[in-house]
Amino acid sequence: MKKLTCLLFAATMLTGMVSAQVLINGAGATFPYPVYSKWFNQYHQKFANVQINYQSQGSGAGIRQVTEGTVDFGATDGPMNAEQLKQFQDKRGSAILHFPTVMGADVIAYNLPGISQELNFTPEAIAGIFLGKITKWNDPELSKANPGAKLPGSDIIVVHRSDGSGTTYVFVDYLSKVSKEWETKVGRGTSVNWPVGLGGKGNEGVAGQIKQTPNSIGYIELIYAIQNKMAHGNVRNAAGKFVQPNTASVTAAAAGALKDMPEDFRVSITNAAGKDSYPISSFTWLLIPAKIQDQSKKKALIDFLHWMLDNDAQAMAEALDYARLPKAVVAREIKAISKIQ
């Protein structure tokens, strides 16, 4: 009898605990997946009743799924466009909010045998190479920016991503800003109609292709380049200074773009102002519906956003080579959290 009571008591305790559990599902961008999984894991350890699942299926899938309502939040490397916002409004009956979480950047990686120093790239050189107009490594546009380097006269072999990706979006968004010709001929998108080059699948595909092919050049994610020790160059920013890509210069880009930042944070920070800004930088965002019916989920998400913007969580991201948000952006996001109803 005593045993039975004990069991019964345990069972009620257990069901009580289960009912207090808040399970939140999210899906989206692959680029921030390492830091998100770390955050969600740490958050669960701290607040055992909140479990956040995240599936890294790509930004496009994240936007689609949150619009369909199959997940509680989405995540994307490129902000939703006006058409997608309207679609969300029509289907879910409320607005969707963008919250920048961390930042990343694309680097210009290359394989040039015999060149040991970091090369400098002007925006004109990058656009020219990817448009197929600059075809030799000793082109004046390149040698002018690299007075010390003995650039060979060999053909440039261009490598780009073959899969749709936020990394591509950031890169072509930058090219569209610095080159009118690129904007009209190619444009912006997660996949574009490349004028030249070979396609590699994923950062690893592009990096592998570059490593195997002498005289090749391509763009890869900053973190991937750092962790795999790929040679990469400095890029001249809007202020006219050649800047090395690293977490500090990426954070500087977000700070530089602050005065043009709209209320909803849907902003591209490529080619940002400021003398220390690395120009091919980008936010990555969480997509959270402005109206959440389930009160416990709403509270959990709001708590998580506050926690994520806090110094400790941002430091955790920096340890994984992500660039942290500037303080001014954090302050504005904390204000924006109150829009969740």
Partner 1 sequence: MSAPTITEDRARSEERARSFLGRLRSGDEVAYLITFLAAASILFVTGWIVFELFRNSALSRHEFGWSFLTTQVWDPVAGRFGALPFIYGTLITSALALLQAIPLGVGAAIFLSELAPARVSDALTFLIELLAAVPSVIYGLLGVFVLIPFLKTVEPAIRRVLGFLPFFQGPFYGVSVLAAGFVLAIMIIPFIISISREVLLAVPGDQREAAMALGATKWEATWDIVVPFARKGIIGSIFLALARSLGETMAVTMVIGNDPKIHASLFAPGYSIASVIANEFTEATGDLYVNALIELGLVLFALTFLINGMARLLILSTTRKGSTQ
SS (H, E, C) 164-218: CCHHHHHHHHHHHHHCHHHHHHCCCCCCCCCCCCEEECHHHHHHHHHHHCCCEEE
Please report which residue ranges of the chain form alpha helices under DSSP H.
2-20, 33-46, 59-68, 82-92, 123-131, 140-145, 166-178, 180-185, 202-212, 222-227, 247-256, 295-309, 311-319, 327-337
Distance in Å, CB of 194 to partner 1, minimum: 8
184 part of the interface to partner 1, by CB under 8 A: no
Question: How many residues line the site for partner 1 (CB under 8 A)?
Answer: 34
Print the binding letters for residues 82-121 with partner 1: x by CB under 8 A, - otherwise: -xx-------------------------------------
Supply 261's token pair.
């930042």
Q: Which is nearer to partner 1, 69 or 187 (CB)?
A: 187
Question: Residue from 21, 49, 117, 212 that binds partner 1 (CB under 8 A)?
Answer: 212
Instruction: Find all residues with CB under 8 Å of 284, minimum gap 6, and list them.
Output: 29, 31, 32, 75, 76, 77, 100, 101, 102, 103, 104, 166
275 part of the interface to partner 1, by CB under 8 A: no
Over its C-alpha atoms, the chain yields an Rg (Å, rounded) of: 23
Question: Residue from 34, 164, 276, 318 that binds partner 1 (CB under 8 A)?
Answer: 164
Distance in Å, CB of 157 to partner 1, minimum: 6
181 part of the interface to partner 1, by CB under 8 A: no
60 part of the interface to partner 1, by CB under 8 A: yes
140 part of the interface to partner 1, by CB under 8 A: no
Q: Which is nearer to partner 1, 34 or 189 (CB)?
A: 189
- Interacting residues with partner 1 (CB under 8 A): 57-61, 63, 83-84, 155, 157, 162-166, 186-194, 197-201, 205, 208-209, 212-213
